[in-house]
Structure 1
């Protein structure tokens, strides 16, 4: 009987098949190039490392059928309400007025955490019940604060979510609510930001600092210049954003076009943000009810 398996497969052994087990015991010149970490980390190979950081998440997400995401940005510094309440008690016990003021501020801002958590839950609840063509995955920067909240909401809804973590001088650990198979880590900010936008069907931005503004204006610039398809850009929190950004001023000064003012929509709740996405894409009304 003929062995049909001989009709399949490559003629040459794969790189994995020929991977030696004792590479590090050999002189550097003798090591296979793709196993030699010192070689891969040379300055001249920065372009190759760019490519690897682009390809690893890209291949993983494609293999898992992830095609559409909702990106949620926001401050890493906002605590959950329960953590904010605990921190306020400790501050009051310390008797330090500055610590009490800071703790009260954090307690006030903890509602942003709750909005991000609720939005992650709404998106994922929809995706758990919808037609596969409408499936959406929450993606965040993978850290604490708003990022944790959105991943946590997706986990609360029983779904998967994505985290794109970054190596920082002061280590940022991934939050525990990211699906392990979608917990990525980057060295290059540029490649990480590209991954945020590659599959984004909406960008939702909670209050935040320099990193959040960088991510927001990167998205706006890509859309304004036509480098990205137009997708909803939604800011949550009128009180914060009306003081933090003045697009009307930029329009009046002539540094942006009049129509650029309409690139963003400002809302106050997760439900309003989700409704805007539902309306923009005309998502199934039945799935909207399930959320």
Structure 2
């Protein structure tokens, strides 16, 4: 005897969102849950979620976790913004914009204070570096916009030369990055950094690592201890092979020759003769950008249809 035909049930397709939806609540969702009034919500309670408990995260024993967070946060944010290659601008926070320097000179002349006058004249002289940094960042931002992966300017996020770098990118309509550091007398981040790319660091070591992670070149303007620290950290890592070699440009040979006697280091055997070639001297934004264009063939094979990826993580 033949069996009766059973009508097959139609196959029901699940919506794609149902197939990929989360299995568990996110940390953000759990942290946002309203907390009912409780005897365990008061000071000293350990009831808070560990990742939402700032007192817990700031304990000395949690330093390894905080170090990891300072490594991850800027890296993940830059990945989300598609930032692959950067040029770092180092330089003094004390170098004034030309208009500020001229205003101080006029005030010193009106006061008749010889010491203040000499200091103001020096500030006017040094202000040319502010303008060169601003101009250089403008050239980087404008010229690299045609690349498959644009190059972004990175600074320490403060005033002076750092402000000039972020300002040049901002005035060109591009994004730029500021890696600020908590200091006892630190000023506010300069107003030209892209807000989503303005970071603050507790650890100098992590900040300096992020300067190098995506950089294809370092451009160093006159500066003091902080600038020298950043410059020599990069030179040491390149010299010892701890990071990929990349060009380092020093703005203003007269300043740097008076500060660092590279030939003396060679003559006394402190560095190898080839080590002097780790740095290149430039005087203008145009000269620095032309050198980078030649280094990476940016006017040829790396344009729109080319590659565009230059940096390699340290």
**What TM-score, normalized by structure 1, do the two folds share?**
0.94
Give unpaired runs (5+ residues) of structure 1: none
Please tell me whether residue 18 in structure 1 is matched to residue 30 in structure 2: yes
Counterpart check, 1:154 vs 2:166: no
Q: Which stretch shifts more, 108-117 or 90-99?
A: 90-99
Where do 4+ consecutive residues of structure 1 move more than 4 Å? 285-288
Q: Distance in 2 between matches of 1:286 and 1:50?
A: 39
Partner of 2:67: 50
Give the 3-state SS of the residue equivalent to 1:197 in structure 2.
helix
**TM-score, reference length from structure 2:** 0.87
**Which of 238, 243, 253 in structure 2 is aligned with 1:238?**
253
Report deviation, 1:286: 10
Match of 1:8?
20
Report Cα offsets for 1:9-64 as digits up to 9, x if no partner.
23221111211344993453111111111100000001100111111110000011
87-96 or 214-223, which deviates more = 87-96
In 2, Cα distance between the equivalents of 1:21 and 1:242?
Answer: 62
Confirm or deny: 8 A CA contact 2:41 2:47 kept in the other structure: no
Residue 68 (1) aligns with residue 80 (2): no
2:292 matched residue in structure 1: 277
State the match for 2:234 in structure 1. Answer: 219
Which SS does the other structure have where 2:295 is aligned?
helix
Corresponding residue for residue 111 of structure 2: 94
1:285 deviates by 5.1
User: Contact conserved, 1:126 with 1:287, CA < 8 A, in 2?
Assistant: no
Identify, as 1 or 2, the structure richer in helix.
Answer: 1
Aligned to 1:106: 123
Q: What corresponds to 2:140 in structure 1?
A: 123
Distance 1:66 1:90, change over 3 A: same
Give the counterpart of 2:264 among 249, 252, 266: 249
Output one character per residue of 1:151-171: Cα deviation in whole Å (capped at 9) or x when no partner.
Answer: 111112111111101111013
- Note the alpha carbon deviations across 1:89-122, whole angstroms, 9 max, x for none: 1112222111111111101110010110110011
SS in 1 for 2:178: strand
Rg larger in structure: 2
- Whether the aligned pair in 2 keeps the contact of 1:234 and 1:266 (CA below 8 Å) is yes
Instruction: Determine helix, strand or coil for the equivalent of 1:113.
Output: helix
- Supply the distance in 2 between the matched residues of 1:156 and 1:202 (Cα, whole angstroms): 21
Conserved 8 A contact 1:28-1:36: no
SS of 1:235 mapped into structure 2: strand
| CA distance, structure 2, for counterparts of residue 203 and residue 220 of structure 1 | 10
Q: Secondary structure in 2 aligned to 1:69?
A: strand
- Two-structure CA RMSD over aligned residues (Å): 1.8
